[in-house]
Amino acid sequence: MADLRHKKRRLTSFQIIILGFAGVIFAGAFLLMLPISTKSGIATPFNEALFTATSAVCVTGLVVQDTATYWSVFGQCIILVLIQIGGLGVITVAASFALLSGRKISLMQRSTMQEAIAAPKVGGIVRLTYFVLKATFLIELLGALIMMPTFIRDFGGKGIWISVFHSISAFCNAGFDIMGTEAAKFVSLTSYLGNPVINITVMLLIVIGGIGFLTWEDVCTNKLRFKRYRLQSKVILVTSAILILVPAMFFFFVDFADMPMKERVLGSLFQAVTPRTAGFNTAGLAGMTGAGQAITIALMLIGGSPGSTAGGMKTTTFAVLLATAFSTFRRREDTQIFKRRADHSVVRNAATILMMYIVLFFSGAVAISVAEGLPFGACLYETASAIGTVGLTLGITPQLGMLSQCVLMLLMFFGRVGGLTLIYAALSGSGKKLSKLPQERITVG
């Protein structure tokens, strides 16, 4: 009997993270099904409520119903709470309640918190959690206060709620908006294309939320002394800057070349920032060139950074793969970044994540295209948006059938919790094998 109790397995950190996200999604779906959650007072079908809850917790922004016109204030509050929980991470939120209530955090709970926010070590995880909470609410409050004068001018007292909603949605990289009307649904921020206050504030919230909690701490601790930053922070900041500036230049000279200069500059920068898992748009996406849409798809797949409110493959994955390619070109045995050597396991994980994202993104588009009879290119855009937890759409998501909605929900869930987290959770009991098979060379390329 004692042996049986000894053999009883406990849930791993990865399994707790997955179950936590799934539990919050289903709880949110049941709340959104209530008649009080809709403006019409009619109960929402389970599949639509589940899709909305999944999109909110996975901070994606793809919707089947216009958030502003379909959901009541109560429903919008539920969505906003789900966005906040999804952005911070279910484990971080649960740990925060435990800390605020004065309870002690066990070593197992600290380990789970470490995995949830991609911290390098368990030590100092409680202090880091306090820092994340305080910084999050301060930044979201500042974002809302900056946007409030503009929205109050345009919407009166309702502008306060609109400011708070969009500040949290932008910081959490969710992409949900409440700007739609009965005459014009799913409009996002298109009416503010030339407004520098809204554009710059939303872009800053997206970028700050997407660079990761550990990067914030590095910047706050070391200020502008870049050389003192962790290697991960250096990689994230440099890669993020490149992924904003280079696409912005392309959009400036190609897709938005016919716009007036102010709208052209703001639109180009915004379109470079928002595909990195944010999901807002200030310009019509369907009118963009094929090349512009392809670049947007690539940015959506790359996503934000580890331990952030963003999803996607992550900027560090992209940087490691790029550095590995350069090292191969130079015939170097090791991957080198900022005069440091990346471990082979990191390179292997990056290659695995890339393959998983490409396979799921492509196969999901095939499934939707076959099921709905839609153009394959448009389906690729939607699946990239789902797996990158972005929320940008060419307008086909609200018309999709239940099978296609399930495909997008699975992709959103995968993109938020992370591919390796799912694999480690599924294979947690397999154990590490010490024996090795005989080695033989194989030619690639």
Q: How many CA atoms lie within 13 A of 160 on its CB side?
A: 1
What is the per-residue pLDDT for 9?
57
Please report the sign of the dihedral spanned by the C-alpha atoms of residue 43, residue 44, residue 49, residue 50: positive
What is the per-residue pLDDT for 414?
87
Taking only the tens place, the pLDDT of each residue in 383-412 is 999 999 898 988 899 889 999 999 999 999
Confidence check: pLDDT of 367 > 80: yes
Highest mean pLDDT: which range of 1-10, 61-70, 99-108 = 61-70
Closest CA to 309 of 123, 58, 61: 58
Confidence check: pLDDT of 274 > 90: yes
Taking only the tens place, the pLDDT of each residue in 85-143 is 888 876 667 666 666 666 666 666 666 666 666 666 666 677 777 888 888 899 999 99
Confidence check: pLDDT of 7 > 50: no
Average the pLDDT over 336-351 and give the result: 88
Report the mean per-residue pLDDT for the chain: 86
> pLDDT higher for 426 or 344?
344
Q: What is the 3-state secondary structure (H, E, C) of 181-223?
A: CCCCCCCCCHHHCCCHHHHHHHHHHHHHHHCCHHHHHHHHHHC
Average the pLDDT over 346-353 and give the result: 88
Average the pLDDT over 368-379 and give the result: 94
What is the per-residue pLDDT for 115?
62
Confidence check: pLDDT of 4 > 80: no
What is the per-residue pLDDT for 309?
78
Q: What is the 3-state secondary structure (H, E, C) of the chain?
A: CHHHHHHCCCCCHHHHHHHHHHHHHHHHHHHHHCHHHECCCCCCCHHHHHHHHHHHHCCCCCCCCCHHHHECHHHHHHHHHHHHHHHHCHHHHHHHHHHHCCCCCCHHHHHHHHHHCCCCCCCCHHHHHHHHHHHHHHHHHHHHHHHHHHHHHHHCCHHHHHHHHHHHHHHCCCCCCCCCCCCCCCCCCHHHCCCHHHHHHHHHHHHHHHCCHHHHHHHHHHCCCHHHCCHHHHHHHHHHHHHHHHHHHHHHHCCCCCCCHHHHHHHHHHHHHCCCCCCCCCCCCCCCCHHHHHHHHHHHHHCCCCCCCCCCCCHHHHHHHHHHHHHHHCCCCCEEECCEEECHHHHHHHHHHHHHHHHHHHHHHHHHHHHHCCCHHHHHHHHHHHHCCCCCCCCCHHHCCHHHHHHHHHHHHHHHHCHHHHHHHHCCCCCCCCCCCCCCCCCCC
Weakest-pLDDT range from 129-133, 164-168, 364-368, 436-440: 436-440
Confidence check: pLDDT of 17 > 80: no
What is the per-residue pLDDT for 151?
96
Class of residue 348 by CB neighbours under 10 A (exposed 0-12, middle 13-18, buried 19+): exposed
Weakest-pLDDT range from 145-154, 408-417, 423-432: 423-432
Weakest-pLDDT range from 92-96, 168-172, 187-191, 261-265: 92-96
Portion of the chain with pLDDT greater than 70, in percent: 84
